[in-house]
Amino acid sequence: MTGIYIHIPFCSSKCPYCDFYSFKGDEKQKDSYLKAVLSALEGYADKSIKVDTLYFGGGTPSVFGGDRIGRIVTYIRESFGLRENAEITVECNPSSTDEAFVREVKRAGVNRVSMGMQSAVDRERKILGRPSGREDIKRAVTLFKNEGIDNISLDLMLGVPYQTPESLDESIDFILSLGVKHISAYMLKIEKGTPFERDEEKLALPDEDTVADMYLHTSERLRKEGFIHYEISNFALGGFYSRHNTKYWQCEEYIGIGPSAHSYYKGKRFYYSRSFEDFLSGKEPVCDGEGGSEEEYIMLSLRLGEGLDGKKFTERYGKCLDKALFEKAEKYKKIGLLKTEGDRIFLTPEGFLLSNSIISDLLY
Amino acid sequence: MASKKENIRNFSIIAHIDHGKSTLADRLLEITDSVAKRDMSDQILDDMDLERERGITIKAHAVKLNYKAKDGEEYELNLIDTPGHVDFNYEVSRSLAACEGAVLIIDASQGIEAQTLANTYLALDHDLELVPVINKIDLPAAEPDRVAAEVEEVIGLDCMGAPRVSAKTGENVADVLERIVSDIPAPSDCDDKAPLKALIFDSVYDNYKGVIVYVRVMQGTLRAGETMRMMATGAEFNVVEVGYMRATGLEPCKELSSGEVGYITASIKTVRDAKVGDTVTKVQNLASEPLPGYRKVNPMVYCGVYPADGADYEALRDALEKLQLNDASLSYEPETSGALGFGFRCGFLGLLHLEIIQERLEREYNLDLVTTVPSVVYKIHLTDGSVVEIDNPTHYPEQASIDYCEEPITNAHIYSPADYVGSIMDLCQDRRGIFKDMKYITPDRVDIHYELPLNEIIYDFFDALKSRTRGYASFDYEIFEYRRSSLQKVDVLLNGDIIDALSFIIHSEKAMSRARKIAEKLKEHIPRQMFEIPIQVAIGSKVIARETVKAMRKDVLAKCYGGDITRKKKLLEKQKEGKKRMRQFGTVEVPQEAFMAVLKLDDNG
């Protein structure tokens, strides 16, 4: 099974914390981009490729337009072995989501939506570059639901300027009131070259300990509400994991199309450069070496709530997990950062917070 | 070719750091055509990179110049360049003993500084004729008249006719040469028939010739093929070559004779066989007694030097061995630290010497080092009546077995504009100084004399002095006695384990405040880890300061989308690499910077 990721590099405005590849783009650029995507897909097209997830990320796919998204889905349906029950996700933001867009993507077969909410507190939204208010979020969610798309995910950011444990609860309350199936709750990271990096000193950012507490609190609250903390930053009700993103974490294949999009396909990792022009001119992706090593598999599995399963590892690599891994794990077990259950090693939410240190220690 | 004895002038140049000694030497070489203009690089005598960069002379050098004076006579001038720092006082004194005179350079804007005086007194001790030269007259801030008056008043040297030069532009530099010829006497008591006595004032190791011994022949002669003996060590060698030092290289000659300055090679393998200050004589015609002034040089300051990466141990040993070929005052022996693994206990003449060696190891040998807190040599009198000398806190005896301790005390002179007297006295007081006296050397410059314990000086005293006086004060010290003192050994514990490399010996009154500072610094520099780390500073089992490094809470890549797995993998690999640069103590990882920070406690802070 293969996943396909389509990067939509357009945004109506650039948020000050974001370092994803995107720009405003006009209608003409969007048209040529559509052509370039279709022609890149053509390079892979083969009915025997079984595709079970399709993901439009960005950027902001909703500013690309439902019609163009529809044309891409149609092409994939005609030229690949797109599964009947495939998960088809579009990312969108509340302000560019209108009835027409919702109708068009529904018609194209989109059955999952991931909305960049980030915060439900207007003061926080504003500094994050999200001028729309919480009412717009509610409106957009309702539009999708009315159209029959109720597999909805909302993004929630932790550790944003002005955020306090109380304001975080306000955002969580709001999310719960909307009845969504999935929540991505991730801690703000100050990325190089962003306005947030430049102004870091001036931003009223909560300190590291507070952010850690916010994270644990979020996990606890959502779990109480029936969500499963199935990946470091992801929570879902039963049966509503993001199947596409799970591919990344389970070291499964995916084809990424568009500037800066990464692929792991037929054992190789490769990616398109961060250049719109290069992509339009049909420039080939850059090779990024072999993928799917044991190390990679272990590193990615440990991001998941179910963790690293010795049985699955053996099925995949034909050998047992290194004993040393379990020995090293002991010290983390003692302080509650990690647990084991038979052949399975998995991190606790406290362990997720320190996952870089733990994983790098276990691995190297 | 040997000159007439009465036309030989042996002299050195003395100055405070940065007053232009090396630049003046360059100009003298240029004027006497000793170096072709095209071969002229700045400060040709300072051939170590470090010397050029720091503007100080570390090793002595010598060079023979030919000069045709205005009187029509051809003179042989032997310039012996001396190290310009108090750590190398003994070397300076041996170089001066090889001379009849000295050019004393004074900066036309700064006037007399600590080492101007220290070196002047040294020169006067050796009965040298002083030729004052006022340098840097090209500077806008130059006040040659004021400085000349200051020199007359403070040193009592007639400065009326002193050449006022700019070594930088070359202005009036020729006058200096005339002064050297007219004012500095020719070597006296030259007797080529007498038994050979040649003073070693320096030696350097050369890959092809072995040790090159620099000497001043006081009496007698020496030729290749003869057998020489070092009077202090008793070592004998067959002379392979004798000759003169030229600016462009060595120039062999048939014979060195009394009054001359030259070199000897004799397949000598280590500079320790040609000790500075020793007397060279001939086996065939032994001198009855050596020249006065030889002293065995003992290191004053010790510290542990460890490779940051244990795998570099061998490389570090090779590097120390090579450095020692050229530096008889550097000592080292293997030591082991529970915290740092295998390394060396190194002895140095002083702090500058320590820094220079450390820097050369890092730079010239590309080594990453961790050094421990420097220590002086303490004399510990035990209850059984015996005395042990301790240069490593790890070897400090059980408190119960100690009768009393002694520590080295220095005579320290600080020269400073009068404005800073208050804050300098505060600093010295704080460093357990005992005020001796204060002299106004001019209406607005003072010489403050304190007795200061050496172990107070080695903790960044000079940095503290500079920052309190905005760099205007200079400083000079010399150990003069061991004195009874109340000392204690202080240990640092991380997560309950003593980190031996961080132990130190300190006066009991200072223990508390230093302990607090160390705990704070460590807290600042040890990154949060997965466990809480208690930092304790203790005397014996009594904890006198404590801090805690809180457990790290957050180290995570929250976003892992877009499938860029390679970057994430690299990040984790890099993280592990970073850990390798840390020292592991039990479960605690300590970065090198933490050690450095403890060494550089800023007492002003």
Domain membership flag for residue A354: yes
Tell whether A231 and A134 lie within a shared domain. yes
Question: Region A227-237: what's the mean pLDDT?
Answer: 97
For B63-97, give the DSSP string. Answer: EEEEEE-TTS-EEEEEEEE---SGGGHHHHHHHHH
Q: Residue B1's pLDDT is what?
A: 47
Enter the tokens of residue B222: 């020496």
Domain membership flag for residue A271: no
Element spanning A132, H or E = none
Q: Residue B603's pLDDT is what?
A: 47
A326's CB contacts (< 8 A; 6+ apart) are A340, A345
This prediction has a pTM of 0.67
Enter the tokens of residue B253: 């000659």
CB B179 within 8 A of CB B129: no
Element spanning A103, H or E = helix A99-108
Band of the pLDDT at A50, cuts 50, 70, 90? Answer: very high
pLDDT tops 60 at residue B462: yes
Q: Residue B58's pLDDT is what?
A: 43
End of a domain among A205, A222, A249? A249
| Number of structural domains chain A divides into | 2
What phi-psi label fits residue B24: left (phi over 0), alpha (psi between -120 and 50 degrees) or beta?
Answer: alpha
Tell whether A82 and A224 lie within a shared domain. yes
Question: Region B477-505: what's the mean pLDDT?
Answer: 91
For B238-292, give the DSSP string. Answer: E--EEEEEETTEEEEESEEETT-EEEEE-----GGGS-TT-EEEETTB--SSPPT
Least confident segment among A28-42, A73-87, B518-532: B518-532
Chain B residues whose beta carbon lies within 8 Å of the beta carbon of residue A360 = 572-573, 575-576, 579
Contact across the interface for A353 and B553, Cβ inside 8 Å: yes
Contact across the interface for A357 and B575, Cβ inside 8 Å: yes
**Torsions phi, psi for B447 (to 5 deg):** -115, 110
Task: Please say whether the dihedral angle defined by the alpha carbons of residues A262, A265, A267 and A270, taken in this order, is positive or negative.
Answer: negative
Q: What percent of chain B has pLDDT over 90?
A: 50
Please provide the distance, in angstroms rounded to a whole number, between the alpha carbons at the two ends of chain B: 61
Q: Residue B580's pLDDT is what?
A: 65
B492: β partners: B537
Least Cα separation, residue A151 to chain B (angstroms): 19
Least Cα separation, residue A74 to chain B (angstroms): 23
Q: Residue B35's pLDDT is what?
A: 63
Question: Region B100-125: what's the mean pLDDT?
Answer: 87
ipTM of this predicted complex?
Answer: 0.88
Band of the pLDDT at B466, cuts 50, 70, 90? Answer: confident
Domain membership flag for residue A191: yes
Return d(Cα B399, Cα B393) in angstroms, integer.
12
B573 and A CB contact within 8 Å: yes
Enter the tokens of residue B571: 């990040």
pLDDT tops 70 at residue B130: yes
Q: Residue A332's pLDDT is what?
A: 93
Chain B residues whose beta carbon lies within 8 Å of the beta carbon of residue A264 = 563, 565
The larger pLDDT score, comparing residue B595 to residue B533, is at B533
Find the residue in B nearest to A232 (Cα). B558
Amino acid at B324: Q
Chain A residues whose beta carbon lies within 8 Å of the beta carbon of residue B582 = none
Return d(Cα B185, Cα B8) in angstroms, integer.
9
Domain membership flag for residue A268: no
Least Cα separation, residue B306 to chain A (angstroms): 25
Return d(Cα A98, Cα A76) in angstroms, integer.
25
CB A89 within 8 A of CB A114: yes
Domain membership flag for residue A290: no
Find the residue in A nearest to B557 (Cα). A356
Q: Residue B341's pLDDT is what?
A: 87
Helices (H), ranges, B526-589: 565-580
Q: What is the pLDDT of residues B252-305, one digit of tens each?
A: 999 999 999 999 999 998 888 888 899 999 999 999 999 988 877 778 889 999
A185: β partners: A156
Enter the tokens of residue B406: 């002694």
Q: Residue B605's pLDDT is what?
A: 36
pLDDT tops 60 at residue B47: no
Q: What is the pLDDT of residues A271-291, one digit of tens each?
A: 999 999 999 999 999 999 999
Contact across the interface for A232 and B558, Cβ inside 8 Å: yes
Tell whether A7 and A128 lie within a shared domain. yes
Tell whether A242 and A323 lie within a shared domain. no
Q: What is the pLDDT of residues A148-206, one digit of tens each?
A: 999 999 999 999 999 999 999 999 999 999 999 999 999 999 999 999 999 999 998 99
B553 and A CB contact within 8 Å: yes
Tell whether A160 and A48 lie within a shared domain. yes
Domain membership flag for residue A158: yes
Residue with tokens 């439900």: A120
Interface test with B, best of A357, A358, A363 (most B CBs within 10 A): A357
Q: What percent of chain B has pLDDT over 70?
A: 92
Tell whether A204 and A335 lie within a shared domain. no
Tell whether A27 and A143 lie within a shared domain. yes
Domain membership flag for residue A260: no
Contact across the interface for B572 and A303, Cβ inside 8 Å: no
Enter the tokens of residue A281: 């001119």
End of a domain among A249, A265, A292? A249
Contact across the interface for A189 and B559, Cβ inside 8 Å: yes
Enter the tokens of residue A91: 């990312």
- For B572, the closest of A332, A337, A359 (CB atoms) is A359
pLDDT tops 90 at residue B27: no
B64: β partners: B78
B564 and A CB contact within 8 Å: yes
Band of the pLDDT at B562, cuts 50, 70, 90? Answer: low
Tell whether A235 and A355 lie within a shared domain. no
Domain membership flag for residue A286: no
Return d(Cα B133, Cα B530) in angstroms, integer.
64
Tell whether A58 and A191 lie within a shared domain. yes
Can you tell me whether residue A191 is helix, strand or coil?
coil
In Å, what is the CA distance from A327 to each residue of A302, A335, B556? 16, 14, 22
The larger pLDDT score, comparing residue B78 to residue B59, is at B78
Going by their DSSP bridges, the two strands B487-494 and B497-498 should be labelled as antiparallel
Enter the tokens of residue B202: 């320096």
Q: What is the pLDDT of residues A96-120, one digit of tens each?
A: 999 999 999 999 999 999 999 999 9
In Å, what is the CA distance from A222 to each residue of A169, A243, B479? 11, 20, 71
Least confident segment among A214-228, B234-248, B325-339, B517-531: B325-339
pLDDT tops 90 at residue B604: no
Range of the domain at A317: 306-363
pLDDT tops 80 at residue B45: no
Enter the tokens of residue B592: 């090198």
Contact across the interface for B565 and A271, Cβ inside 8 Å: no
The CATH number for A119's domain is: 3.20.20.70
Tell whether A327 and A189 lie within a shared domain. no
Residue with tokens 């015996």: B386
End of a domain among A216, A249, A282? A249
Tell whether A322 and A234 lie within a shared domain. no
- For B556, the closest of A300, A355, A363 (CB atoms) is A355
Going by their DSSP bridges, the two strands A228-231 and A182-187 should be labelled as unpaired
- For A209, the closest of B553, B557, B573 (CB atoms) is B553
B556 and A CB contact within 8 Å: yes
pLDDT tops 70 at residue B53: no
CB B344 within 8 A of CB B400: no
| A·B CB contacts under 8 A | 105
Tell whether A232 and A324 lie within a shared domain. no
B591's CB contacts (< 8 A; 6+ apart) are B525, B526, B527, B581, B582, B583
Return d(Cα A335, Cα A331) in angstroms, integer.
7
CB A271 within 8 A of CB A261: yes
B586 and A CB contact within 8 Å: no
Find the residue in A nearest to B558 (Cα). A186
Q: Residue B40's pLDDT is what?
A: 52
Return d(Cα B54, Cα B75) in angstroms, integer.
33
Interface test with B, best of A191, A356, A358, A363 (most B CBs within 10 A): A356
Interface test with A, best of B556, B566, B576, B582 (most A CBs within 10 A): B556
Q: What percent of chain A has pLDDT over 90?
A: 93
